[in-house]
Amino acid sequence: MIKVYNTLTRKYEDFQPLQPPLVRMYVCGPTVYDHSHIGHARTWVAFDVVKRYLRLRGYFVIHVQNITDIDDKIINRANELGVSWKEIADKYAKEYLDLMKEMKVFPTIHPRVTEHISDIIEFIKDLIEKGYAYVTPSGVYFDVDKYPYYGQLSGVKDKEMWSQETFVKDKKNPYDFALWKCAKPNEPWWESPWCKGRPGWHIECSTMSSKYLGKQFDIHGGARDLIFPHHENEIAQSEARFGVRPWVKYWLHSGYLTVKGEKMSKSLGNIVPLVDLLKEYPADVVRYWLTTAHYRSELDFSYDRLDQAKVALERMKMSVDKLRRTVEKGYPKGSLKDEEVKAIYDIWKLREEFHQAMSNDFNTPEAWAKVREALRIANETDSWEVAAITLNFVEEADQVFAVFEEKRVEGVEPFVDLLVRVRSRLRERKMWELSDWIRSELDKLGVKLLDKGRETEWRFAK
């Protein structure tokens, strides 16, 4: 049984989707007014791992991740730069979509707010009809006092603490929030029954999630900065409109990616744009590094840590490629030595433990430890059977981690092998200059070498 930590109940719970084998998951995507940063990537990869693991366990996951392409932040940025809001939104939405592909994160659908304005208007109309929202000259607001369960997700029960959007003057209470904002001069607008304007931030997620996932669904994700007020407001609107409770069964929140202990965030000016980082580190190194921490814990960014991750992943890749070659070139022997039987049993146990770790609220650091240990065991023997079984396990784990994709250049391998053996002979004769030259020339061609004593392992890295 998979257990997940549910922010709503503050407990670990058995994961039982509403309509197995379907799992419906919504993740809050970016507001596209600036570069996506490594903090965003942390949250996307966290929920990608959740999806991939559920899929490995036989579920079919519908994953919706929105793009907020109209918002005050986008309008402000456009005004600062003297360009249209749409230019800004399109530019960063495209960047985000390209980066998601590079990071191997593939939501089922990426709905954009500006393509759902009429659905949002319907949602707000319904809330007004049901008495949960009121119209003012500056826009439409949600009447928090009408909804009895406000504060259930964040655990904040004190009304004093609910204040939000306090710059708005014509709200009934400081904790009411905007569903529809009337446009000020020079602001973008859409027609609505109330005024020419645009949607508030929270209503878009309630609208797009219910449109694609129904009135109730299984998982809602995002980083924990969104618990209050964004997710609290999403719950209030959706439970008010649909009359269901709980609207979402499991609320999962990822921890922050931090810089010197502070959340990486555009507003704090400490971001590392993902587009820049990926020029220096391949996406699989970034994925690996992000998954070496549990998704709910904080993870502090540093180039040193990424460098260490790069070295560690490179070593694992070497081992995996070696296993692939052993399996491909060799064959089963029909009988096993005692130590092989033991190694196979140990690896089978590690696979079990990998699943236990992943089933325990997606404990990726623990799961990685099992993979590394299996590779260590396999490295100590030339046994075909041990290699085959380890490879089986690693490839299963990689359905979650997605970092060990095999890269091959057909027909070239025997020649690379020959060059590597020539280099080994040069090293035996202590002809270091020439052997180093072969290494660096091969490196330029995308072949990475790893010397282990007298042996040299190699793999295609690009």
Q: In the complex, which residues of this chain contact ligand ATP (CB under 6 A)?
A: 28-31, 39-40, 42-43, 222-223, 225-226, 254, 256-257, 263-267
By the rule CB under 5 A, 350 interacts with Zn ion: no
Of the pair 48, 71, the CB lying nearest Zn ion is at: 71
By the rule CB under 5 A, 205 interacts with Zn ion: yes
Q: How many Å apart are CA 198 and CA 27, to the nearest integer? A: 22
Smallest separation, CB 188 to ligand ATP (Å): 19
Smallest separation, CB 211 to Zn ion (Å): 14
205 binds, among Zn ion, ligand ATP, none (CB under 5 to 8 A by kind): Zn ion
257 binds, among ligand ATP, Zn ion, none (CB under 5 to 8 A by kind): ligand ATP
Q: Nearest-CB residue to ligand ATP?
A: 39
- Short-list 207, 200, 254, CA closest to 227: 254
Residues facing 62 on adjacent strands: 24
In terms of C-beta distances under 8 Å and separation of at least 24 residues, what long-range contacts does 190-196 make, across chains too?
190/117, 192/121, 192/124, 193/121, 193/125, 194/135, 194/139, 194/140, 195/137, 195/139
Smallest separation, CB 65 to ligand ATP (Å): 9
262-263 and 257-259 strand pairing: antiparallel
CA distances (Å), 74 to each of 81, 116, 276, in order? 11, 17, 22
225 binds, among Zn ion, ligand ATP, none (CB under 5 to 8 A by kind): ligand ATP
Of the pair 266, 459, the CB lying nearest ligand ATP is at: 266
243: tokens are 């009359």
221: tokens are 């994700």
Using the structure block, give the residue that is written with the tokens 């907020």. Answer: 68
Of the pair 36, 237, the CB lying nearest ligand ATP is at: 36
Which position among 25, 27, 28, 144 is part of the footprint of Zn ion (CB under 5 A)?
A: 28
Of the pair 105, 419, the CB lying nearest ligand ATP is at: 105
Count of residues that interact with Zn ion, criterion CB under 5 A = 2
Smallest separation, CB 32 to Zn ion (Å): 13
Of the pair 45, 386, the CB lying nearest ligand ATP is at: 45
107: tokens are 């939501």
353 binds, among ligand ATP, Zn ion, none (CB under 5 to 8 A by kind): none
Smallest separation, CB 122 to ligand ATP (Å): 24
Q: From the annotation, which residues make up the binding site for ATP? A: 266
167 burial via Cβ count (<10 Å: 0-12, 13-18, 19+) = exposed
210 binds, among ligand ATP, Zn ion, none (CB under 5 to 8 A by kind): none
By the rule CB under 5 A, 371 interacts with Zn ion: no
Smallest separation, CB 269 to ligand ATP (Å): 10
CA distances (Å), 123 to each of 36, 81, 144, 180, 249, in order? 29, 33, 16, 11, 21
139 binds, among Zn ion, ligand ATP, none (CB under 5 to 8 A by kind): none
Smallest separation, CB 295 to ligand ATP (Å): 10
Smallest separation, CB 176 to ligand ATP (Å): 21
Smallest separation, CB 27 to Zn ion (Å): 8
Of the pair 5, 458, the CB lying nearest ligand ATP is at: 5
Of the pair 133, 223, the CB lying nearest ligand ATP is at: 223
Q: How many Å apart are CA 266 and CA 90, to the nearest integer? A: 18
Q: From the annotation, which residues make up the binding site? A: 28, 205, 230, 234, 266
Of the pair 261, 453, the CB lying nearest ligand ATP is at: 261
- Contacting range for Zn ion; rule: CB under 5 A; set: 20-28, 258-266, 334-342, 435-443: 20-28
Query: C-alpha angle 404/406/408, rounded to 5°?
Result: 155
CA distances (Å), 166 to each of 110, 170, 173, 184, 232, in order? 31, 10, 9, 18, 17
Using the structure block, give the residue that is written with the tokens 């580190």. Answer: 281
316: tokens are 């694992």
Of the pair 28, 318, the CB lying nearest Zn ion is at: 28
219 binds, among ligand ATP, Zn ion, none (CB under 5 to 8 A by kind): none
Q: From the annotation, which residues make up the binding site for Zn(2+)? A: 28, 205, 230, 234
Interacting residues toward Zn ion by CB under 5 A: 28, 205
